């Protein structure tokens, strides 16, 4: 089975790495854009209901796209790990792979929590509870997204180390 991954990676490695990197860029970059570009722009909207509606809509669109990226990251990560056969290379690199996988797992768990928090905010918004909606969005924007951005930077840096740069 390992031979299949090694051969497949030898043939399509550049494409697999490209998909892996672009998926990470979309996920982490999307969160950066939401936090540092979209949120401040939306904050200038005076109508609270319109502002909350737009934030919920933007988050939903991003999250639907990010879910695809998470799946691509997982699949390409497996192909890269097995294709490079890190288990039989330097032990420090193999350990780094597991640390990177653990951090991505934390990011996915946090993403799931953010997704549920966003859906809760939408339910509250639809019931007319703008204060609770704003509170949930505040938690997402000021705590949960920055956490995933930071963890994303760490894993991207670890990926650079693994690629030998």
Q: What is the pLDDT of residue 81?
A: 84
Confidence of residue 165 (pLDDT cuts 50, 70, 90): low
Q: What is the pLDDT of residue 76?
A: 95
3-state SS string over 4-40?
A: HHHHHHHHHHHHHHHHHHHHHHHHHHHHHHHHHHHHH
Q: Find the angle CA(151)-CA(134)-CA(61) to the nearest 5 degrees.
A: 60
pLDDT by residue (tens digit) across 47-85? Answer: 999 999 999 999 999 999 999 999 999 999 988 888 877
Q: Residue 86: pLDDT above 80?
A: no
Cβ 73 vs Cβ 20: under 8 Å = yes
Higher pLDDT, 6 or 126: 126
Q: What is the pLDDT of residue 62?
A: 96
Could you tell me the residue ranges of all domains in the chain? 2-162
Q: What is the pLDDT of residue 64?
A: 96
* Mean pLDDT value of segment 25-30: 96
Q: What is the mean pLDDT of the chain?
A: 93
Residue percentage of the chain with pLDDT more than 70: 99
Q: What is the pLDDT of residue 85?
A: 73
Hey, how many other C-beta atoms are within 10 angstroms of the C-beta on 137? Answer: 22
Confidence of residue 109 (pLDDT cuts 50, 70, 90): very high
pLDDT by residue (tens digit) across 111-128? Answer: 999 999 999 999 999 999
């Amino acid at each position: 089975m390992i031979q299949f991954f090694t051969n497949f990676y030898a043939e399509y490695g550049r494409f697999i790495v490209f998909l892996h990197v672009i998926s990470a860029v979309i996920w982490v970059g999307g969160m950066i854009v939401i936090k540092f570009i979209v949120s401040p722009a939306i904050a200038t909207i005076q109508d609270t209901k319109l502002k909350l509606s737009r934030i919920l809509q933007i988050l939903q669109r991003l999250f639907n796209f990010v879910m695809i990226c998470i799946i691509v990251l997982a699949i390409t990560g497996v192909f890269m790990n097995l294709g490079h056969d890190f288990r039989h290379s330097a032990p420090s690199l193999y350990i780094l792979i597991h640390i990177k996988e653990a951090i991505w797992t934390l990011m996915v768990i946090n993403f799931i929590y953010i997704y549920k928090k966003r859906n809760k905010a939408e339910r509250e918004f639809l019931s007319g509870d703008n204060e609770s909606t704003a509170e949930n969005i505040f938690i997402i924007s000021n705590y949960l997204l920055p956490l995933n951005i930071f963890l994303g930077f760490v894993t991207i840096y670890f990926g650079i180390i693994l690629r030998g740069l």
